[in-house]
Structure 1
């Protein structure tokens, strides 16, 4: 849950820097679980086909979701403009998922130092 809160609170609209795979995928997973839960609540409270709460939630997390995806692409040494691949049906989305799964470049790149490296050894981001 710390990874999700880090993206939503600390880096709400931060498109600079790099994000670890773990940060991106934990945000994506928790985001999906919250959206599914809110969709179920919407169906029970407001009736089937009405997605008031889940739509509002998705609107709130749109910017941090794009920001963490751009930072994840920065982690692999790619520009955030690669996000436009998602506009290509199937092939673009699959290519983007593969890019999100690739490990970060261990050395500093044009987007900053690796978030995995602190000093000369690997350390987790949160204790």
Structure 2
């Protein structure tokens, strides 16, 4: 688990090319959640808001984006899906906040319900994409990260690859 995290953060910090297996993505997410929880506890103990946790979040922002894009590549999807999803969620969230500021929370109506439904639907859709098994073999984003050998490699009699 820690090895996957190190691979994402140190070896592939801003690598938006290629593919990431589900295990690489989800072990990174798990370690990220554990470290975020620890940094939030430090912030609470130190009596500061968003100190250590904010710094950590800034530090892993790019690796989080890169592993997410590579995960989408593994299922044959463009990384632009992530950007479009984030922009849509931000627009909905801003709309909710502006609606609450102008209309107040007492007039919670369809204009509040629609953005919430859209945000939840996008989150569920992204979750489904991130848990989907990657494409077998090469796709337009690169070789299958599960496959040790390229499809072009040949196996000799004793089972080793010849490039």
Same fold by TM-score, threshold 0.5 exceeded?
Answer: yes
Q: Which residue in 2 is equivalent to 1:125? A: none
Q: Which residue in 1 is equivalent to 2:78? A: 79
Q: Given the alignment of the two structures, is residue 96 of structure 1 paired with residue 126 of structure 2, yes or no?
A: yes
Which of the residues 94, 102, 106 maps onto 2:136?
106
Q: What CA distance in whole angstroms lies between the structure 2 residues aligned with 1:57 and 1:33? A: 12
Q: Does the Cα contact within 8 Å between 1:85 and 1:95 map onto a contact in 2?
A: no
Calculate the TM-score normalised by the size of structure 2: 0.70
Aligned length: 119
Q: Which residue in 1 is equivalent to 2:110? A: none
Q: What CA distance in whole angstroms lies between the structure 1 residues aligned with 2:39 and 2:124? A: 26
Q: Specify the structure having the higher radius of gyration (Cα).
A: 2
Q: 1:30-69, aligned counterparts within 5 Å? A: 30-47=31-48, 50-69=49-68
Q: Given the alignment of the two structures, is residue 7 of structure 1 paired with residue 8 of structure 2, yes or no?
A: yes
Query: Displacement of 1:51 after TM fit?
Result: 1.6
Query: Displacement of 1:85 after TM fit?
Result: 2.1
Query: Displacement of 1:119 after TM fit?
Result: 2.1
Show structure 2 runs of 5+ residues with no match. 90-118, 151-163
Q: Does the Cα contact within 8 Å between 1:75 and 1:104 map onto a contact in 2?
A: yes
Provide, for residues 50-74 of structure 1, a one-character-per-residue CA deviation record: whole Å limited to 9, x for no partner: 1200000000000000000000000
CA RMSD of aligned residues (A): 1.4
